[in-house]
Amino acid sequence: MFHRIALGGLGLSVAAALAAAGPLQYPKSRTVEHVDEYHGQHVQDPFRWLEDDARVSTDVSGWVEAQNEVTFAYLASIPEREAIKDRLTKLWNYERYSSPFKRGERYFFYKNDGLQNQSVLFVADALDGEPRVLLDPNTLTADGTVALSGVSIRDDGRLMAYGLATAGSDWNEWRVRDIDTGKDLPDVVRWVKFSGASWTKDGKGFFYSRFDAPAEGEAFQQSNLNQKLYYHRLGTDQSEDVLVYKRPDQPEWGFSSGVTEDGDYLIISVWKAGPQNLLFCKPLNDHLGLPIELLNEWEAEYSFIYNDGPIFYLKTDLGAPKGKVVAVDIRNPAKENWKTIIPEAGETLQGVGATGNMLVASYLKDATTQVRMFGLNGRHIRDVQFPGLGTAGGFGGRMADTETFYSFSSFTAPPTSYRYDMLTGESEVFRRAQVDFNPDDYEAKQVFYSSKDGTRVPMFIVHKKGLKLDGTNPTLLYAYGGFGISLTPSFSVSNLAWMEMGGVYAQPNLRGGGEYGEEWHQAGTKLQKQNVFDDFIAAAEWLIANNYTTPSKLAIAGGSNGGLLVGACMTQRPELFGAALPAVGVMDMLRFHKFTIGRAWVHDYGSSDDPEQFQALLAYSPYHALLRQTGKGMKYPATMVTTADTDDRVVPGHSFKFAAALQQAHAGDAPALIRIETKAGHGAGKPTSKIIEEAADRWAFLVKNLGMHNAFDR
């Protein structure tokens, strides 16, 4: 209904007219008299109707179609767009491999030939054996909008449970495939969300969590409550699945589960909002017993690593904001009996795995990866040597394995897979990506700047060598700043295209992230959320003061919580930026918790249900900031909001309302557009073709609005 292909009917005349015309004429966004009362204060919500699902409301679908018509015609009028798309297509067209992992005697990995919409899952009977296709999602739909969302291989390597997500939705449907034959069994498990599958040791079934089927027409907006943990036995209908655990008295609780390597226990991590969780376990030889509430206070984060019989190894931040590893005897689990295995370090402990009779600990030092190997007694054995500062991930396996695999990348180094010998500590290149660029043409560095309150904040800056610091460089400032998520150096084909055109890429590590542990995270939450925006604004001011760029050449971008970041900063300091690209952002901070999984964000944001938090949320809520400026002659930077019709993580109504309010409040000539993708969601599983189209639109928008007229002369 809103497909980009429909723009073909506009013809060149409309695009040419848009290019030659003055200020854009936006579709009319009707307003309604809707007022909510919060703690005695009345708050207008004139675009409340845009919260309705576009699949259900013809008013909203008509608005989406009209907005897309203006946006895509504007983008089509930019002369450089096709050249940008061609270059992105060429850059994307390289073979990409994941690091392999082993189950039984078989190895599994993902491969993309380059422009395939979805990566293909392969299996090989030996590391150097001939691989064969196990599952190719590209054969499931012509447009590549069905993605493989999760995989769980049985220990013997003969059966695979796998999840499929359609059009980017968080909803998954799980099936089971015979790896020998490549054929699916009849088993189908539906209404799964925020859950994987974990096989029992005997291989007769798996555990998973799901929600009840949503009300008709509410699948993409209804609040996700009352998740339940089930066991599915192979060969039976889902209606016969065994209910393992539920808590109707705690509707906001969710359950993530996994079977221990020895098969003796089911580990249940109970979550609701924020990083804190509970940890339960269920002995699997006791079919009728309830799970044991091992750690039942919401006081810290607990991650199960491995068990040696009743001795559980856990990663936790209890009394250690940067993380530590403890051993807990579940027969006597009182905290005074815990044994510290890996004490808190100066660096942030990101994660711990167990393989090759070692604990593999991944740390962050100023947002770059360090990996250290420890014995089960906590003795430091060795560090993994990487080829530079960057990001490493992988190191999976079983305790008896003598090898593991990992991937390393940086801003200027495409992902390379390595085989790591657990006995010798030697790494060898397994597969290296070949991308059409010369990494020696680029440089990356890390700087530190002071935020508004004096806090020292790190920032990566990447660009072509020979950059002149004359204040004229088009610069993209990208960040996230929330939920304890860390932004580390990673390779991006899209960002490479930006830098080829002479752009500077800057990535600060704001408070609210996890780069420096839980204290750094908490410093950017709830009543302290403004710290995140101050850190981002200070990064922009540093780039300007150090002659990288100037406000008219500075663009800001971020997605999800990062979309909120962009929305808040462009409304607080509109004169500081030349362009803004808020993607799938949380823009109405008074109502986010009422949709799908938004309730889980209250730990970071707070809630309008709380009087003090309401005032803080209202003060920075991007949507409400725009409503307050309507009719006051405020000029905002050139803005292209992006969202998708099937985003059931951050529902598109956030972006719809923000865009409508922006078009109403904006008194300048710079464009205020919204680009609404169809058959896509929050970002996961997006087809390569859509990624390229969106990146081409994003860079074309910046080329035009940052005055990059010589973008292809560099």
Q: Which residues are catalytic?
A: 560, 682
Helix (H, G, I), strand (E, B) or coil at 676: strand
Read off the amino acid at residue 487: L
- Reference 169, options 593, 690, 683, 594; nearest CA is 683
398, with CB counted inside 10 A (0-12, 13-18, 19+), is middle
Tokens of 117: 């919409």
Q: Find the length of the chain.
A: 714
Helices vs. strands in the chain: H and E counts, helices first: 12, 39
487-514 burial code (b ≥16 CB/10 A, e <16): bbbebbbbbbbbbbbbbbbbbbbbbbbb
* 372: CB partners within 8 A, 6+ apart: 360, 361, 363, 380, 382, 383, 384
The DSSP-derived string for 266-291 is: EEEEEESSSS--EEEEEETT-SSSPP
268, with CB counted inside 10 A (0-12, 13-18, 19+), is buried
Residue 270 CA to residue 162 CA, distance in Å, equals 23
Q: Look-up: residue for tokens 């593999």?
A: 360
274-279: long-range contacts at Cβ-Cβ below 8 A with a sequence spacing of 24 or more? 274/600, 274/602, 274/603, 274/604, 275/301, 275/317, 275/483, 275/484, 275/518, 275/521, 275/603, 276/300, 276/301, 276/603, 277/301, 277/302, 278/302, 279/304, 279/314
Tokens of 310: 């009743």
Helix (H) or strand (E) holding 189: strand 184-192
β-pair type (579-583, 554-559): parallel
Helix spans in 314-359 (H): none
Residue 625 CA to residue 589 CA, distance in Å, equals 11
Q: Look-up: residue for tokens 């508004």?
A: 452
- Among left, alpha and beta (phi > 0; psi -120 to 50; other), residue 402 is alpha
- Reference 559, options 677, 661, 703, 708; nearest CA is 677
136, with CB counted inside 10 A (0-12, 13-18, 19+), is middle
CA distances 459 to 84, 270, 389, 511, 708, Å, are: 27, 34, 14, 12, 24
User: Phi, psi at residue 623, to the nearest 5°?
Assistant: -60, -45
Residue 440 burial (CB count, 10 A) = 8
User: Phi, psi at residue 12, to the nearest 5°?
Assistant: -70, -25
* 549: CB partners within 8 A, 6+ apart: 471, 472, 473, 474, 475, 504, 543
